[in-house]
Structures are given as structure tokens and as C-alpha cells.
Amino acid sequence: MALSMDQRPSAPQRVQAALSAAGVAARIEEFPSSTRTAQEAADAVGTGVGQIVKSLMFLAGGAPVLALVSGANRLDTDRLAVLTGAPIGKADADAVRQATGYAIGGVPPTGFPAPIPTFIDRDLLRYAVVWAAAGTPRHVFPIAPGDLVRITGGRVVELASDQG
Ligand code: 5CA
């Protein structure tokens, strides 16, 4: 991922720079197959879907919030409303790109133009390593959940819906 002088950094390069700045020596991996969905990412990596980090952006009272949710779980937006104290609305593709700087399917957990308040599914902390998107629907990186908490400043909470 060399960066030549006359090119703007690619999405994975921007994620790599954000991780490096946060003190995480992450190894971003590119896959020939899609990692757009949690299941596709799990299949590409060869891991369980629970170890995939979904980066789900919502609008809480109109302001971006990020939920980092285990791929095995369905987010309970009512929980997010209680946690943020604001009504939760869906963020469309444009809102996601504007707030995060990345397109849906590649939204990383950190490295945004401005910080986004972040909530982290406690189920992710069951694993030694989890995998998150790195800017595109073909790039992911492994990270220890403790590092994920540290670099996002996220609050570890219960986010899963009881329906599973
Ligand atoms: N690369 C994978 C695994 S790391 C990934 O990014 N998965 S994800 O779950 O974080 O991103 C896909 C999510 O984007 C979907 O679960 C869904 O919540 C959201 N999404 C998909 N399409 C749309 C859309 N049209 N508008 C708003 N959100 C969408």
C-alpha cells in the first residue's frame, strides 16, 4: 500500500493511517471476494460471523452515532435510543458517507473526519481477535477487542436484540 506523491490516499490507506496514529499496528488484508456483509467477511477470513464487526451508523436526534455490533447479533435500536437519550433514525448511504468518509460495506470503526460517539457490543469482547472493515467491501483487519475499545473511545454495552 505504497503512497505515491501525486495520488490521494486510498480508503484502506486512510484507515491504515488512522490505526497507526492510534498506535495500533494493524495488518489490513485485501480479499478477492466480497467482504461487504458480515457473513461474506467471515467466509473470506475463515472465521465465525460473531467475530466480524459491523459498523452501523444511525442518527440520534439527527447526530451521527456508531454501533459496533457482532456479526452474530441484530442491533436493538431501542437500546441505542436509551443509551443516547434521543430518538434513533436510519442513516442513508449519503449520510453514512458524509459522516464517516466511507461507503456502506467498508465503513471502518474509526478514522472519521470528526469523532462519532461509539457504542460497542459487549459480545465482541468474547473473542481474542475480531475483524472490522477497512474502507472498502474487500478490505478488513484484525484487532483485539480491547484495542477496538481504546482507539474508538467506545462504550461497551449490550446492543443485541433478544431475537438474535
Ligand atoms: N464489510 C462488512 C463487514 S466488516 C460491513 O461493512 N458490514 S456492515 O454490517 O457494517 O455494513 C453493512 C451495513 O450497512 C448493513 O448491515 C446495514 O445496516 C447497512 N446498510 C446497508 N445498506 C444500506 C442502505 N441502503 N442504507 C443505509 N444503511 C445500509
Ligand 1 mutation target, pool 29, 56, 98, most atoms within 8 A of CB: 56
Separation of CA 105 and ligand 1 centre (Å): 5
Domain region containing 126: 30-157
Ligand 1 center from residue 158 Cα (angstroms)? 20
How far apart (Å, rounded) are the C-alpha atoms in residues 61 and 69? 20
Task: Tell whether 65 is covered by a domain.
Answer: yes
Distance of CA 54 from the midpoint of ligand 1 (Å) = 7
Nearest to 102 by CA among 30, 4, 18: 18
> Is residue 22 domain-resident?
no
Quickly count: other Cβ atoms within 10 Å of residue 85's Cβ. 8
User: pLDDT per residue over 107-164, tens digit each?
Assistant: 999 999 999 999 999 999 999 999 999 999 999 999 999 999 999 999 999 999 986 5
In a domain, residue 134? The reply is: yes
How many domains in the chain?
1
Region 35-41: mean pLDDT is 98
Residue 17: inside a domain: no
